[in-house]
Structure 1
Amino acid sequence: MNEEHEERSEQRAQDAPEAHHADEPQPHDQPQNQPQNQPQNQNEPQQDASEKTDPPAPADPAPSSEQVHHNNVNQYFYGELDASGAQFGIGTAGSDNARRRAVGRLDAGEADAILAPYVKPACFEQAVLALEQDGVVVLVAPPGTGKRSGAVALVDALAEGSEYVVLSPGRSLDDLASGKVAFEKGVGYVLLDRMSEDSSQTADFDWRRVRDTVREHDAHLVVTTVRPVESGVVESVRHVSWQLPDLTAVLRVRLVRAGCAQDAVERAVSLMPGGCRIAEVAVAAERIACGAAPDEVWQDYGSSAAQPVRDWFDRDRTPQEWAEVTTLAFVNGAGYRDFETCQERLEGWVAPAFPEPVTEEEQAAAARRAVDRRLSLSRNDLVAVEQRKNGALTRTALVFPHPQYRQWALEELWVKRSTPYWNGVRDWLTELVAAQPGLGLQLSVAQGLALLTRPAFDEVADNYLHPWAGGAAGYAGQSTAVLVLQCMCLDESLAATALGVARGWARSYDPALRSTAAAAFSGALGVRFPTDAVTNLLRMVRGGVRSVDAAIALAGLVAVLAECGQDTGAVFRPLAYRLRAQRETLTGQSKENILGATLTVLRARDARTGRLVCASLMERDGRQTATIAELWAGVLDNLPRRGRALAALNTTLRELPAVSERPEQVAERFGRALGEVLPPDDGPPLAAALRQVAARGDEAAGALVEIFLTAVLSTED
């Protein structure tokens, strides 16, 4: 299957002896002065991660409050997300970005959508020549310059067929060179926004190995990055400085293809403002082609969108006005009372960044401003009042006059306010989040921080993401850090950065960071990069550090993938592979953890419907039945877990009528698939034990169990 390309490569990497736990902190590898910080029961074989999920089973303990909160955050992100005010993913289907994978083979429709309106930049032929001669080329440019579409166009120009594979940005040069990526003849490969972890001393040698491997397989590879290589460090693979194509040509091509009249095309071109990103041009062209007036459309993009904000910041502003805009950037959409409360708290934190009023006149003016807080908001050109419907009621919300203003306001704040001011903002937001606000306020703060990563990633990573993920603001801080990464996944240019942050947390010795990483991989980040998510979560499961969190996260990822209509086999297949690899292993913590994680995944429930995900999947996607059956065979074959597995299997069969109009057919198909993978002669003992468990249920459920067992036993011959 197309989506298995990255998984096969990852399994090969994991099974290589030299790479089995290459980046996994182990207790014996820790410095002597480094605390272990593992949960007290972490290494007890009797503790089954599955016992911390499956709410409908009253005999099982509930999940920890921390993990439940994280799961609620991920479900909230998908179910209630309104990121329109954040302007993520312009030109790339907005929040749909977080609902589809970013790696694997490009389907024909997606490739055509990229290639059909493509306009070549001036550097295109230079890159084609390098790719033709070396088999590999690296495109270097800032975000928003069209590197992604350029990479696909380059491999299309030289690849023999029409197959294009997008590789994970987390792939190292060693992965590319040593066979851990299965290059195929005639296929074009694209690695977007590669995370640079190279040593300058070995960079040229490593790139030479990559080049030779790609040549050997007669493939082509285009890598994109935002970091220019040090002069003279790499000579074996050419690094081309990528350029924007002519944006007026991009606009003309898209409008002509949409059937716009020539005079309308030229009017739109003449009104296009400077400073536009290529993605902005694409979405503006779509709006104009649908009938929107060009002069109105262009107000939302490029310098036209930024200028009113810049004009506001160019005038002298009082500390209260600075606080108004800063509060709005992070507390967007709140009502007057909540907004003013947050603003007042911010003013206290940032007060040291401003000179104290000295004269009586200055003190009186400051006092008047504090009293007239709402009047001041009404006079602020960057603050608008929006009436939002909330059922039968109408709610007042404070927002920016245009959603695009939020990004530009944050950029102006970052440029014009110094460290003392941002120290106050940091302390204010930490206090705000630690007070465990509602998920709506958490999401607003997360959106603001995700937007701030564009001009100031280090500020966000060092002062918010890392401390909060480590527990500095409590569970709510960890959840908000997860939401920041989910918001970053809405933007093609930030998704790889979010992946890098979560990978760093997953490799940390700090159990709180690893727990937050697990939560992040169970949501939008896992949907965008499923292979990376499952790889990191399985490493945590096998290593025993926060293995329960990782098992619950795998179950959460299955639920989210199913909800998004994505391939849940991205979790099932690696788990089945692990079970097969450990079949001959009699005991050991790694095996215990894998078995516990498998049962947890099989018992995963949809957070909204409460239905078992695997039961729904066997009805919705029959192709998954064989892999699900293989997972069941693995846990049923384990004597210590057989009782719990039988109870869970019985529950799965009992739920089939709730998720299927033809439960008998699903039960029979499931039974045959399980019978084919059970060890020889295991069918009759399983039938006897399951009948005993099912005897306590109703007759309808018992009939389904009999259909299932008849199918299981039919494979004995």
Structure 2
Amino acid sequence: MPETPQPEGQPADEAAPDGPEPDPEEAKQEGQGDNESPGEEGSFDEGALGQNATVINNFFDQVDGSHSIFGIGARRSTHSMTGTLDLVDIEKALECFVAPECFEKALLDLCGHRVVVLVGREESGKWISAIALLNRVKQRNAKITVLSPARTLDELAAKTAFREGRGYVIQGWVADAGAATLQRFEFETLSRKLEQAQAHLVITLNRGQELSGLEGFHVGWRTPDPLKLFDAYLNGIAVTDEIAEVRRQAIELRTPRRIAALARQIALGGQSPTDVLADLTGNEVTKWFGDKPKRSEVLVVAALAFAYGVPERVFERLLVDLERIAEEVKLRGREPEKRAYDDTLPQNRARWGGDHPLITVERVPGPSAGERRIVFRGSQHREQVINELLRLYGYDLWEPLRLWIRGLADDLAEVRTQAAAGLSLLAAANSQEVRESFLEPWAGGGASEQLTAALLLSMMCADDALAPIALNTALSWVMDAGQPRAMTAALAFAGGLSIRYPADSVDWLWFLSLRAIRIRVVARRALVLLFQGAAEREDGALQPLRLLARHVDLDLRSPIEPGRARTALAAALAVLSCDRLEADDDSLAAWLLMSEPESAKPLGVLWAWTLHSAYYRRDAIRALYRALRALKGRDGAIPAATALGEAVWSALPPDAATLISQAIERAGAAVRENPEDSIRTRELVLAVLKTSGERGRPHGTRTGGGGTDGHPISDH
């Protein structure tokens, strides 16, 4: 499933240039402590988790606004928001950059303090400006590293290994907390560390204004000149009278992203500049609401905004529910109205059929080809309708909408998906409303509500401005928020957050996989889903795999209670035993060994720990045989098996190697295969076993740490 390429020269905060390369050492964040409430009631349907979380994990590569999935005009790219931007990424991001007036002040502060925070509302151009600032101060050929927005100032100063001459950036910082005086002290400490490393850091913060007392570190941010930005993205095409008029009106679009999109689309041609402007500004939607439609008509478009593209029969049912709830809200505290009996049959379908200016009915290809589905006419109409509903209506509309949407979490999977998609658009305009009215209640609710909350966070990750908010929301559920919310956080870390923040997701899923039973069951399954999804993407699963192996190695090298060690090994074994997401009965470990040869080392670490455990040895051998059988018949299978064997035995103490080798051979003798398959599997097993006899004490073995004969791996 290839990712959609990022549009070139995206100017706004939410647009990163194609996504940074993963840099696990610099994108790493350590987990925190744990406070558990094991007695909390409720249960989670792991079967439902397996089915729906898989959908979450693959959601972004399926967004298609041309039909009925989300009603968004174009695919939104999804890429990691942590990692490394190389020189090509930087050049591409800045090719149409227009500096705002506040740029020079920020540059002076950055040179003086080596760290600066760009403070302003969303979509004010802070992200690209941060890249431009760092490009001015970093060493000429140095890269820019993008760090997790969850890092605190203290963690940045104490735990981050800044490299000489490199620029660092945090997009959508979520960790600013505490009094300004304390923050100033922390900024000064961080400034000294950056000075020692000869590095620079720029942070973007989505907030109305900078804090008093942080002058020199906080810089209030403003958008660049809209006309200059329009001209930069027009790409030098001749300016006609029509383009000149559209250019004059471009200032009404307000955000750099929308202005750039207008100019870019005009430059591409295929549509008149006036039509492009009308599509982006939502003139048709504004006009329809300006005509003051009836209450029943508003309810139809409001329902469609959160139930877009569902079959007509389903939409009718949902609309009836919304109308009933709206009537109940209207009559709160009043006597029910007495109405005369009406024998006419309402012609409801006439409300969206025919020549409705915003709504139409279409038939889409697929398993249910020919089924009528209700959609908006324009690619931008869904988002524009939601914005108009926010701008024009209050309690009488939004209270029944809140109640109705909350109930959609228990409806069909397609309905839940569309509700989450609509709420992700609402979050772009009012994230606090979405968090308080939907995310928090759902996260603390039942299984279907938790899945819907996790799906909504994943959809928010499609927007670069909302992704840090999604991360911050999930982190708020990890500790001291109850087991249901912790389970919801685990689901979210397997979805869009695993694409945006892979290091954070592995860290926190590992942390959650060691908690109470209900939480760790979900977290373990989510960890598997994370790796299954990562393996199917272009960036691959190698970096997350290295992080997981590091967690296992660090935790189990230390003195650890046996029950906790078994819990940790169970999580590692779940990853070693799983299938590929897109191919049942195809070992993920085998596929990784063939497609990403460097994965042999972290896989070897995981297998070494599980093989050395008397409790899990049989399961680990079974998983190993399954992976080796999946390798047979493939070109390069013997070298892959040999590399895995070398990694396994280099992590095991010599006195354990003989015992484990014998156990592997005995297991092979008990496996029933046809003769030809048995011979091929035997060759691969021998390739793994051969390396055990070629090594003495493993290179780099450390003494101490409670391991057998001083070796770090002990038999848990």
> After superposition, what is the alpha-carbon deviation per residue over 1:595-651, rounded to whole angstroms, capped at 9, x for unaligned?
111111112222320222221111001111111111111111111111111111111
Q: 1:36 aligns with which of 17, 36, 39?
A: 39
Amino acid at match of 1:550: A
Partner of 1:579: 552
Mapped pair 1:292 → 2:267: no
Amino acid at match of 2:145: V
Using the TM superposition, give the Cα deviation of residue 187 of structure 1 relative to its aligned residue in structure 2, in angstroms: 0.8
Contact 2:210–2:220 at 8 Å: present in 1 too?
Answer: no
Mapped pair 1:560 → 2:533: yes
Contact 1:75–1:607 at 8 Å: present in 2 too?
Answer: no
**1:385 and 1:194 mapped to 2: Cα distance?**
42
Mapped pair 1:522 → 2:494: yes
Give the direction of change, closer, same or farther, for the CA distance of 1:543–1:375 in structure 2 (3 Å limit).
closer
> After superposition, what is the alpha-carbon deviation per residue over 1:232-283, rounded to whole angstroms, capped at 9, x for unaligned?
3323x33222122223322322333xx6456699659637634333223333
Give the direction of change, closer, same or farther, for the CA distance of 1:362–1:108 in structure 2 (3 Å limit).
farther
Mapped pair 1:253 → 2:232: yes
Using the TM superposition, give the Cα deviation of residue 126 of structure 1 relative to its aligned residue in structure 2, in angstroms: 1.4
> After superposition, what is the alpha-carbon deviation per residue over 1:393-415, rounded to whole angstroms, capped at 9, x for unaligned?
33322111112111121122123
Using the TM superposition, give the Cα deviation of residue 79 of structure 1 relative to its aligned residue in structure 2, in angstroms: 5.9
Amino acid at match of 2:287: D
Give the direction of change, closer, same or farther, for the CA distance of 1:265–1:221 in structure 2 (3 Å limit).
farther
Contact 2:63–2:69 at 8 Å: present in 1 too?
Answer: no
Contact 1:5–1:182 at 8 Å: present in 2 too?
Answer: no
- TM-score, normalisation: structure 1: 0.85
Question: Which of 668-677 and 265-274 deviates more?
Answer: 265-274
Give the direction of change, closer, same or farther, for the CA distance of 1:240–1:563 in structure 2 (3 Å limit).
same
Contact 2:612–2:660 at 8 Å: present in 1 too?
Answer: no
Using the TM superposition, give the Cα deviation of residue 302 of structure 1 relative to its aligned residue in structure 2, in angstroms: 4.4
Give the direction of change, closer, same or farther, for the CA distance of 1:628–1:115 in structure 2 (3 Å limit).
same
Partner of 2:173: 194
Partner of 2:4: none
Report the structure, 1 or 2, having the larger helix content: 1
Using the TM superposition, give the Cα deviation of residue 715 of structure 1 relative to its aligned residue in structure 2, in angstroms: 3.3
Give the direction of change, closer, same or farther, for the CA distance of 1:265–1:159 in structure 2 (3 Å limit).
farther
Structure 1, unpaired ranges of 5+ = 15-20, 28-34, 41-51, 53-62
Amino acid at match of 1:646: I
Partner of 2:90: 111
Mapped pair 1:375 → 2:350: yes
SS of residue matched to 1:682: helix
Partner of 2:605: 630
> After superposition, what is the alpha-carbon deviation per residue over 1:193-238, rounded to whole angstroms, capped at 9, x for unaligned?
1114411252322222222222232211111111245653323x33
Contact 2:455–2:495 at 8 Å: present in 1 too?
Answer: no
Contact 2:299–2:322 at 8 Å: present in 1 too?
Answer: yes
Using the TM superposition, give the Cα deviation of residue 689 of structure 1 relative to its aligned residue in structure 2, in angstroms: 1.3
Contact 2:64–2:75 at 8 Å: present in 1 too?
Answer: no
SS of residue matched to 1:166: strand
Using the TM superposition, give the Cα deviation of residue 351 of structure 1 relative to its aligned residue in structure 2, in angstroms: 1.2
Partner of 1:72: 54
Partner of 1:655: 630
Q: 2:77 aligns with which of 96, 99, 105?
A: 96
Partner of 1:448: 422
Partner of 1:155: 134
Aligned length: 661
Contact 1:541–1:590 at 8 Å: present in 2 too?
Answer: no
**1:348 and 1:586 mapped to 2: Cα distance?**
57
**1:72 and 1:261 mapped to 2: Cα distance?**
49
Contact 2:578–2:587 at 8 Å: present in 1 too?
Answer: yes
Give the direction of change, closer, same or farther, for the CA distance of 1:697–1:252 in structure 2 (3 Å limit).
farther
SS of residue matched to 2:77: helix
**2:590 and 2:571 mapped to 1: Cα distance?**
18
Give the direction of change, closer, same or farther, for the CA distance of 1:623–1:268 in structure 2 (3 Å limit).
farther
**2:398 and 2:143 mapped to 1: Cα distance?**
48
Using the TM superposition, give the Cα deviation of residue 491 of structure 1 relative to its aligned residue in structure 2, in angstroms: 0.7
Amino acid at match of 1:325: V
Using the TM superposition, give the Cα deviation of residue 155 of structure 1 relative to its aligned residue in structure 2, in angstroms: 0.5
Partner of 1:55: none
Using the TM superposition, give the Cα deviation of residue 317 of structure 1 relative to its aligned residue in structure 2, in angstroms: 2.6
Mapped pair 1:312 → 2:288: yes
**1:657 and 1:275 mapped to 2: Cα distance?**
63
> After superposition, what is the alpha-carbon deviation per residue over 1:290-332, rounded to whole angstroms, capped at 9, x for unaligned?
33234266236543x2x32122222333221121011110110
- TM-score, normalisation: structure 2: 0.85
Partner of 2:123: 144
**2:114 and 2:685 mapped to 1: Cα distance?**
56
Structure 2, unpaired ranges of 5+ = 1-19, 698-716
**1:693 and 1:78 mapped to 2: Cα distance?**
42
Using the TM superposition, give the Cα deviation of residue 174 of structure 1 relative to its aligned residue in structure 2, in angstroms: 1.1
Q: 1:401 aligns with which of 361, 377, 385?
A: 377
SS of residue matched to 1:347: helix
Using the TM superposition, give the Cα deviation of residue 166 of structure 1 relative to its aligned residue in structure 2, in angstroms: 0.8
**1:550 and 1:650 mapped to 2: Cα distance?**
26
Mapped pair 1:214 → 2:194: yes
Using the TM superposition, give the Cα deviation of residue 142 of structure 1 relative to its aligned residue in structure 2, in angstroms: 1.3
Amino acid at match of 1:174: D
Amino acid at match of 1:333: G
- Report 1:87-486 matches (<5 A): 94-97=75-78, 100-161=79-140, 162-178=142-158, 180-200=159-179, 202-228=182-208, 231-235=211-215, 237-256=216-235, 260-261=237-238, 270=247, 273-276=250-253, 277-295=255-273, 298-299=276-277, 302-303=280-281, 305=282, 307-354=283-330, 371-378=346-353, 380-390=356-366, 393-435=369-411, 437-438=412-413, 440-471=414-445, 474-486=446-458
Contact 2:246–2:273 at 8 Å: present in 1 too?
Answer: no
Give the direction of change, closer, same or farther, for the CA distance of 1:88–1:526 in structure 2 (3 Å limit).
farther
- Report 1:50-89 matches (<5 A): 64-75=46-57, 77-78=59-60, 80-83=62-65
Q: How much is the aligned-residue C-alpha RMSD, in angstroms?
A: 3.1
**1:363 and 1:8 mapped to 2: Cα distance?**
68
Contact 1:578–1:594 at 8 Å: present in 2 too?
Answer: no
Mapped pair 1:615 → 2:590: yes
Partner of 1:538: 510
Contact 2:153–2:186 at 8 Å: present in 1 too?
Answer: yes
Contact 1:625–1:673 at 8 Å: present in 2 too?
Answer: yes
Q: Percent identity?
A: 27
Contact 1:687–1:709 at 8 Å: present in 2 too?
Answer: yes
Q: 1:548 aligns with which of 503, 509, 521?
A: 521
Amino acid at match of 1:505: W
Using the TM superposition, give the Cα deviation of residue 458 of structure 1 relative to its aligned residue in structure 2, in angstroms: 2.1
